[in-house]
Amino acid sequence: MIRKKLLVEGDVQGVGYRAACLREALRIGKLYGWVCNLPNGVVEVVMQGDPIAVAKLIHWCREGPPAAEVEKITELPLSNEENMDSEFFTFKIKQF
């Protein structure tokens, strides 16, 4: 299992990015975490799962849904020591 955090910048809020990301994570399977809108216009995606599943979702996030215009993605590793407990039983849309 690996953990990653993505900060997705561009025209990514108000275009269905979170809902589409949730659908894609569930389609891929073996992924846990969340997607949420941040107050600064960035979408945050935090994920844990099988390395291949994580790589597939990262690839999808670079494009997003058709209405989105992803300009930049910052990928940050998360250590296994960080407290992820109850957040990682499913993949969900999280409210900031």
Contact (Cβ atoms closer than 8 angstroms) between residue 68 and residue 3: no
- Active site annotation includes 62: no
**Residue 30 and residue 12: Cα distance in Å, rounded?**
24
Q: In degrees, to the nearest 5, what angle opens at C-alpha 81 toward C-alphas 34 and 92?
A: 10
Q: Which of 37, 40, 62, 83 is catalytic?
A: 37
Among candidate residues 3, 18, 27, 62, the one labeled active-site is 18
> Is there a catalytic annotation at residue 80?
no
Catalytic residue positions, numbered: 18, 37
